[in-house]
Amino acid sequence: KAGVTQTPRYLIKTRGQQVTLSCSPISGHRSVSWYQQTPGQGLQFLFEYFSETQRNKGNFPGRFSGRQFSNSRSEMNVSTLELGDSALYLCASRSGGVNNEQFFGPGTRLTVL
Amino acid sequence: AQKVTQAQTEISVVEKEDVTLDCVYETRDTTYYLFWYKQPPSGELVFLIRRNSFDEQNEISGRYSWNFQKSTSSFNFTITASQVVDSAVYFCALSEDNTDKLIFGTGTRLQVFP
């Protein structure tokens, strides 16, 4: 079974631009969560989606948004990029009930210049 | 408020030594879940173990073992006979009931030298 895939793996943008990151969960998984990892703040929760509905949102500004499609694939968008948005963005999916273990993708490393 | 503390920033050991990674958590919920993840240099978080708050039974899986103690709010992880391939950053995480939101500790970087 293929794991969680994220595209692109690496991305370089400039301040003020916007970016869209994509995540394909493990086949059959309907829940997708997103996390941001930076050296200063560590791993922080962004969003949680289940069956196209956002169930939970972390403490991030409105520039960060996401969505989930009917095939469970998810995208997150960051508008008006800032230097501090440079990070590794990780996507995770799970099967079964809430609180089951989540399986992470390799991440998208975003660099904002 | 929920919080996970991993006081050990970095640990270095020589191959075949045993090593224990500490994790202390805070939560007001009576139902919660604890996890350990490993992040090798490739960056992908690898799931190791999940425990719920009602299951204090400690477990051994190969060279890995876990010690969950609610009385001290600790969920420690031990690697027996460490190997160079164990070198990675290890994260402890907490989720409260009915949410997938993981609250991570700051991680412990383990370096195993040959």
**Structural contact between residues B4 and B23, judged by C-beta atoms closer than 8 angstroms:** yes
> Does the beta carbon of B30 lie under 8 angstroms from any beta carbon of chain A?
no
CA distance from start to end of chain B: 41
3-state secondary structure (DSSP) of residue A85: helix
Contact assignment for B101 to A56 by CB distance below 8 Å: yes
Which residues of A are less than 8 Å from B44 in CB distance?
A: 104-107
Task: Give the gap in angstroms from C-alpha A53 to the nearest C-alpha of chain B.
Answer: 13
Q: What CA–CA distance (Å, rounded) separates B11 from B74? A: 18
Contact assignment for B45 to A48 by CB distance below 8 Å: no
| Structure tokens given for B4 | 């996970």
Q: What CA–CA distance (Å, rounded) separates B59 from B36? A: 13
Phi, psi at A90, each rounded to 5°:
-110, 140
**Percent of chain B's residues with pLDDT above 70:** 100
What does the angle CA B54 – CA B59 – CA B63 come to, to the nearest 5 degrees? 155
Contact assignment for A42 to B107 by CB distance below 8 Å: yes
pLDDT exceeds 80 at position A1? no
> Does the beta carbon of B54 lie under 8 angstroms from any beta carbon of chain A?
no
Mean of pLDDT over chain A: 95
**Sorting pLDDT into bands at 50, 70 and 90, what band is A65?**
very high
